[in-house]
Amino acid sequence: MASTLLLPGCGAKQEAVSAPTLDEVFLSRRSIRAYEAGKTISEAEVRTLLEASQNAPSWANQQPTKYYVAIGDEKREAVLNLVGGNKDRVANAPVFIVSTFERGKSGFFRDHQVDAVGDGWGAYDNGLANAYLILKARAMGFDTLIMGMRDADALRKLFEISENEIIMAVIALGYRAQEPRMPVHRPLDEIAKFF
């Protein structure tokens, strides 16, 4: 029996529907820049998202991604002041997740860099983990915005993040306040070549 889920923002009328298919998650996920005020997300729900991110592939299963979750008012407010021009856009998001990766894990073997990409593989793995997280968030009825505009030094101090970790992004997590438009995508033949 299919579980039911309320997907906010998936049409004019909101109603209980069967759990969304992967294609439905892809089509309804957007970068949200306006969140409903007064809504909350529990620690248990955030843990479910982070557990989903652990299923993402990584170099030799190194799992270099780490997360720092601002769910309490004090930390949430502190992070809000560190996301630059996105501050007003995400002010009503109830959770912020700081995403990092450990240096020298992905792209390394026995402490030696294996190719020219080096720690770029850690960034790649971090992006995969974040993709799993935001897709699971959408499947659960939440919305996200991955923000690269952030004060990394202040975030490092706020969460006591090791110097061995590279801070990649802050992810806002909440409920969309309005239905976003579908962005225009480049034609497939501009991004893929078949031989």
Max intra-chain CA distance, the chain: 55
Check: CB of residue 39 under 8 Å from CB of residue 57.
no
Confidence of residue 15 (pLDDT cuts 50, 70, 90): low
The percentage of the chain sitting over the pLDDT mark of 90, rounded to a whole number, equals 83
**Domain count along the chain:** 1
Instruction: Give the separation between CA 167 and CA 153, rounded to whole angstroms.
Output: 9
Query: Is there a domain that residue 11 lies in?
Result: no
pLDDT for 116-136, tens place per residue?
898 999 999 999 999 999 999
Q: Give first-to-last CA distance, the chain, whole Å.
A: 43
Q: How far is CA 42 from CA 29, 49, 65, 142, in A?
A: 20, 11, 22, 12
Residue 165 in domain = yes
DSSP 116-183: TTTTHHHHHHHHHHHHHHHHHHHHTT-EEEEE----HHHHHHHHT--TTEEEEEEEEEE-BSSPPPPP
Average pLDDT over residues 23-30: 92
pLDDT bin (cut points 50, 70, 90) of residue 16 is low
Can you give the CATH number for the domain in which 67 is found?
A: 3.40.109.10
C-alpha–C-alpha distance, residues 37 and 154, integer Å:
26
User: Given this model, what pLDDT does residue 182 score?
Assistant: 87
Stated as kind and residue range, the H or E segment containing 190 is helix 188-191
Handedness of CA 80, 56, 117, 108 (dihedral sign): positive
What is the radius of gyration, based on Cα positions, of the chain?
A: 18
Q: What is the pLDDT at residue 96?
A: 98
Q: Residue 153, Cα to own-chain centre: how many angstroms?
A: 20
**Per-residue confidence (pLDDT) for residue 17, from 0 to 100:** 56
Structural domain of 142? 30-178
How does residue 1 score in pLDDT terms, banded at 50, 70 and 90?
A: very low
Q: What is the mean pLDDT of the segment spanning 86-105?
A: 97
- What is the structure's pLDDT at 111? 79
pLDDT digits (tens, 9 = 90+) for 139-148: 999 999 999 9
Residue 3 has pLDDT above 80, yes or no: no
Is 21 inside any structural domain? Answer: no
Query: Does any domain span residue 195?
Result: no
110 within domain boundaries: yes
Asked whether residue 131 is domain-assigned, the answer is yes
Asked if residue 135 is part of any domain, the answer here is yes
- Mean pLDDT computed over 32-49: 97
Distances (CA, A) of 186 to 19, 24, 50, 153, 180: 29, 20, 31, 35, 19
Q: Is residue 39 part of a domain?
A: yes
Its pTM surpasses 0.75: yes
